[in-house]
Chains A and B, each alone.
Chain A
Amino acid sequence: MTITEKIMARSSGKDKVIPGELVWTDIHSVMTMDFLGKQCFEKFRSLGKTEVFDKDKVICVSDHLVPPPNQKFANMLNEWREVVKQHDITNFYDLGRQGIAHQIMVEQGHVLPGTISIGTDSHANTYGAVGAMGNAIGVTDAAVAMATGKAWFRIPKSVKFNVTGKWQPWVMAKDLSLHIMGMMHWNGHLLYKALEFTGPAISSLSMAGRMTLCNMTVDLGAKNGIVAPDVVTERYLRNRTQDKWEFLNSDDDAEYDQVYDIDISDLAPTIAMPGKLDDTVTIDKLIGTKFNKAFVGTCTNGRLEDIAVMAEIMKDKQVHRDVNMILVPASQTVYLEALQAGHLETLIKAGVAIDTPSCASCAGLHTGVAGSGDIVLSAGNRNMAGRMGSREAKVYLTSPSVVAASSIRGEVTDPRTFDI
């Protein structure tokens, strides 16, 4: 069996599962957040329950609406706090302890290798970075899981990406994500599939890079993305969870729907053109393209490693006068670590505006939304019309290193040739 099949088999109390089979599985944890959470609890109560299956395993996060930019959001947040309190939830990451839900789930040890965690936000696929099965679900599934500790799944076929070669300087996991997006497209091939990333170029990735890679598998249409746990995972989880876990991996004779070999030695910084995620180009096609807004943050690229790369590129330089640049760290922990490392001082001196952790403009809800005619260079995860605000704005998606180098020049710039 593949690692995903093994996780689903053990979570459903079976020795073996086969793709296509429908099973109910145990859930290790279920996450919901501010703008949908109240409805989860209401639906949960409508099932005739008043206490959740495990108070420690229902994780509540304020991320999309905080800090409230208007009265509507402020009122929604107050109702949300009330309902979380009413259910005596142990792990509530509200403003002050907040972060983007997926960052919180991994960073605070709420996902565990070899288990299934679900969340009411599409980028729950991120949890695969630690060798868990992370899956996005709707409010209904969350309510059912809160009541029963279970969710239904169809066992997906697995697709393997065997990634070899040596990462070029300034080329990041995001470039691999966008490269695969362009190679596979949204349409069809990877719908409902479990994507497994393996090979030396994955082993050498930090947890931050693995999170980026698994995070964007939802945008490929996949069911989940996963990296088998290894020494990097163990080191990362050591101080984050007391729960026991094993080094689960795919069997040598595991069956895959498809296997793709990717050599990243020649992988160039890659950019998704405005409007469609799979319309990607290598950076040489866009050199010199002007933009007026730059954004780094989100559950895809708002981690310490991403901020460190920005700081290294932007040290003692100035953001171009025609560009407004915003950084939103993915969590309070990331924010503090970036502060302690001196990165935030470097970036503030360079003219980067830094805002408190949240989903920010990635969800188009607040903090730096795009207006009509804006051209945004973003290290986020989506670029459809209206995603970051105005439907008349254009959003290019790329890595933090490209955003950093380009923001100094005021035009799309290859960090590999930038004078750092």
Chain B
Amino acid sequence: MKTFVLAAALFAAGTLAASAQQLAPSPTLDAIKARGHLECGVHLGLPGFSFANDKGEWTGLDVDYCKALAAAVLGDATKVKFTPTSVQQRWPILQSGQVDLLSRNSTITFSRNATLGLNFQGINFYEGQTFIVRKKANVKSAEDLDGASVCVAAGSTEEKNAADWFRERNLKVTITNFQKNDDAITAYDSGRCDAYTAGVGALAGQRAKLKVPDDHTILTKPISNDPQGPVTRYGDERWQLIVRWVLNGTIAAEMLGVTSKNVDEMKANSKNTEVRRLLGAEGGFGAMMGLPDDWMYKAIKQVGNYGESYERTVGLASPLKLERGQNQLWTKGGLLFTPPFQ
């Protein structure tokens, strides 16, 4: 009898340990389920990435990611509440637990990752400094700017970056300084320089302010590297896993040709195992993270894959008309990549 009880206890402890290994506790996920919505920290207002439209709804590329996450976790892309954050408050608001994650065009850097107690969960936008030029100037890349003049704000990071970059390559480029960014872009618009420089995302917003936006083009190959993506706190590995793989899932969906329109058909008929795993038709991948198996199906169905999101918010279907550039899939010449769903 005694041995039987002992064996039973050992067995119970063993299974408990096994299941605990499979599914670590996730206080963040439990809290989200208990309150019934996701808390997402976004940018106060950045054209194309995060802003409130005329109806007061939050939209943009960073916002779309939060919606996809809400769909994956709670089954409903509308069950997310947004906290707009300023530059100064973005880290503390995440560290103090007022939001579940930040999706707020924050550049991933070593020192931030090492010192802030925060982890970056992948890249949803490859930001980088580039140039806006007139279409008729026939400039294809920054190397073609030899002999040109560039308007910049004096003392900005962009000024230093651009000057260094041209000097290293022995290109004769005149850098014209202005007091403020606004002055520099106005000067560019009035024809005093051949180019103006800033990050890709910022340039997309600024192009829309020019007198004739369609006369200008943004060079797709940047001269600096500022990748951006969702951010979580240290700890709660299962939550970090979910945040990372929902982002990967939206990229994988584009890779595999799964869109919000064909997702039902793909789930029912696709012979591709990776598609079937992604959409929860086989493999039980959702359950491994403590989510329903149709987690990515819901996210794709309700929000769309990465490409759909991109086109709608900053891409050619939006007023910003930004080309994919580096944010194209790696198979099509960009940098966008996801580990396989295996």
Q: Are A and B associated in one complex?
A: no
Binding site for A on B (CB under 8 A): none
